[in-house]
Amino acid sequence: MSKLTAIAVKSMTRPGRYADGNGLYLHVRSADRKNWVLRFMLMGRSRDMGLGSYPDISLAAARIKALEAKGLIREGIDPIEARRVNQSPEPQSAKTFRYAAKALIEDKRPGWRNEKHIAQWVSTLERFAYPTIGDIPVQDVTIDHVLRILRPIWHQIPETASRLRGRIENVMDSAYARGWCTQENPARWKGRISTILPSQSSIRNVEHYPSLPWKRIPDFLTELSKREGMGRWALLFAILTAARSGEVRGATWAEMNLHSRVWTIPGARMKAKRPHRVPLSSHAMAVLGMMVPCQNGPDSCVFPGRRGKPISLMAMTMMLRRMNGMGTDDVIHWKDDITGEPIVPHGFRSTFRDWAAEQTNYPREMAEAALAHEKDNKVEAAYARSDLLERRRPMMQEWGNWCFSRMLGDCPADDKEGS
């Protein structure tokens, strides 16, 4: 007898029972009504055990369920009775927030075809929610618990905080629908959290990316210097220029004036859609010097990837992941002090900004100009025509000096001009 195939199961429309072997059958009632049934003998009696409907339960999943049931039968255990015992009601005290969350995720999983989405749900709850409310009965979760979870990250990582609040709300709604709690949802935004925390739209323009504390930059660059690959050079150039990763990846030699030591980024490639000039420190110039052998005309990429195309963001991200051990242990070597999250390429802009504010006397507007941030005050922006290019030169040079302050033989010579 030939076994069923996934394609055959999907295409079956004629009513009847179709054997897969080992007692497993597909019971077809119509094109959209199909069920899995396990027929077995126990104590001289033939029994049928339903294993779920298709397509909720795939052919492969049905075979696994059948094998598990057969294992119980070999031990003299009735799998139908065993399932009934396992599904018996638990006391309300056992319905913790963690229990309710896992139940919701399992019920929603068939409709979530993207495994990454499922992983994000699980990871955000495990990292932020479970330490506070994971083992608390869902009936006892209060708005104070929810605020205790959200407050530390509401401003630092608003996007994550907003999604986390929504996920907690969904878990609580699901628990209410199941009869596990009777209270008003403590994580609901309207009329609850909104009366205490500011809206995300008012703070999202300062979204925090996991960044390295500025005091650790010299040690980080010492470690980065031991790495190989184009991702290393692109990441280093991004750090030294405080530029966005996309601006660095798309940089061409036509944008580089090596004589005047200025990188001019066209407005089309800038977030604010305005041209941006970057004074290049001696350290940034040294990186460009390493890239000269890769030059293939003025329009070629400074940091080329495959087939001369711009290097991908993943190349820079993977460089950081490799430096963090690719998750081979529980230690995150290079992480954000606030969130504990592994650092990302964009986060080095925050590192530069913190360094400028805490370690130098340069005016705030110079650091903001270096980051190409738009002014909040539109009237002030209209009158501020200068980009402070020459005044920014010594600042970027000092930043490069600090970045390389731990280096020995690999540090480009300091440029004393304007410092």
pLDDT by residue (tens digit) across 283-313? 999 999 999 888 888 889 999 988 878 898 8
pLDDT of residue 415: 41
- With a cut of 60, say whether residue 240 has pLDDT above it: yes
Q: Is residue 410 part of a domain?
A: no
Q: Encode pLDDT of 99-153 as tens digits.
A: 999 999 988 887 776 677 788 888 899 999 999 999 999 989 999 999 999 998 8
- Domain with 159, as residue range(s), is 92-206
CATH number for the domain spanning 243: value is 1.10.443.10
Q: Quote the CA–CA distance of 409 and 405 in Å, as a whole number.
A: 11
pLDDT of residue 2: 65
Q: Is residue 202 part of a domain?
A: yes
Domain boundary among 86, 109, 139: 86
Average pLDDT over residues 39-61: 84
Average pLDDT over residues 2-23: 85
Q: Are residues 97 and 82 in the same domain?
A: no
Bridge partners, residue 265, by sequence: 276
CATH number for the domain spanning 116: value is 1.10.150.130
- With a cut of 90, say whether residue 248 has pLDDT above it: yes
Q: Quote the CA–CA distance of 328 and 332 in Å, as a whole number.
A: 10
Number of domains in the chain: 3
Q: Is residue 408 part of a domain?
A: no
Q: Is residue 391 part of a domain?
A: yes
Specify the amino acid at residue 213. Answer: P
Q: Are residues 149 and 117 in the same domain?
A: yes
pLDDT of residue 414: 41
Q: Are residues 191 and 249 in the same domain?
A: no
pLDDT of residue 244: 93
- With a cut of 60, say whether residue 376 has pLDDT above it: no
Q: Which two tokens stand for residue 155?
A: 């401003």
Tokens 């959209």: give the residue: 32
167: CB partners within 8 A, 6+ apart: 121, 124, 125, 129
Q: Which two tokens stand for residue 119?
A: 């992983």
Q: Are residues 173 and 218 in the same domain?
A: no
Enclosing H/E stretch for 29: strand 24-30
Q: Are residues 282 and 197 in the same domain?
A: no
More confident residue, 411 or 385: 385
- With a cut of 90, say whether residue 171 has pLDDT above it: yes
- With a cut of 90, say whether residue 48 has pLDDT above it: no
Q: Are residues 178 and 82 in the same domain?
A: no
Q: Are residues 222 and 339 in the same domain?
A: yes
Q: Quote the CA–CA distance of 261 and 286 in Å, as a whole number.
A: 11
Contact 355/401 with Cβ under 8 angstroms? no
Tokens 């055959």: give the residue: 8
Tokens 């795939």: give the residue: 58
Q: Which two tokens stand for residue 152?
A: 């530390």
Q: Are residues 355 and 373 in the same domain?
A: yes
Distance of CA 182 to the CA centre of its chain: 34
Percent of the chain clearing pLDDT 90 (strictly above): 37
Q: Are residues 255 and 377 in the same domain?
A: yes
pLDDT of residue 413: 39
Q: Encode pLDDT of 188-238 as tens digits.
A: 998 889 999 888 666 654 456 788 999 999 999 999 998 988 999 999 999
Q: Are residues 127 and 222 in the same domain?
A: no
Q: Is residue 300 part of a domain?
A: yes
Q: Is residue 1 part of a domain?
A: no
Per-position DSSP letters for 321-369, written without gaps between them: HHHTGGGSSS--SSB-TTT-PBP-GGGHHHHHHHHHHHH----HHHHHH
Q: Are residues 179 and 246 in the same domain?
A: no
Q: Quote the CA–CA distance of 368 and 345 in Å, as a whole number.
A: 18
Q: Encode pLDDT of 320-330 as tens digits.
A: 988 887 644 45
Q: Quote the CA–CA distance of 347 and 336 in Å, as a whole number.
A: 9
Q: How many CB atoms lie within 10 A of CB 354?
A: 16
Q: Is residue 418 part of a domain?
A: no
Q: Are residues 266 and 370 in the same domain?
A: yes
Tell me the whole-structure pTM to 2 decimals: 0.51
Q: Is residue 411 part of a domain?
A: no
Domain boundary among 58, 86, 114: 86
CATH number for the domain spanning 60: value is 3.30.160.390
Specify the amino acid at residue 322. Answer: R
Q: Quote the CA–CA distance of 351 and 5 in Å, as a whole number.
A: 56
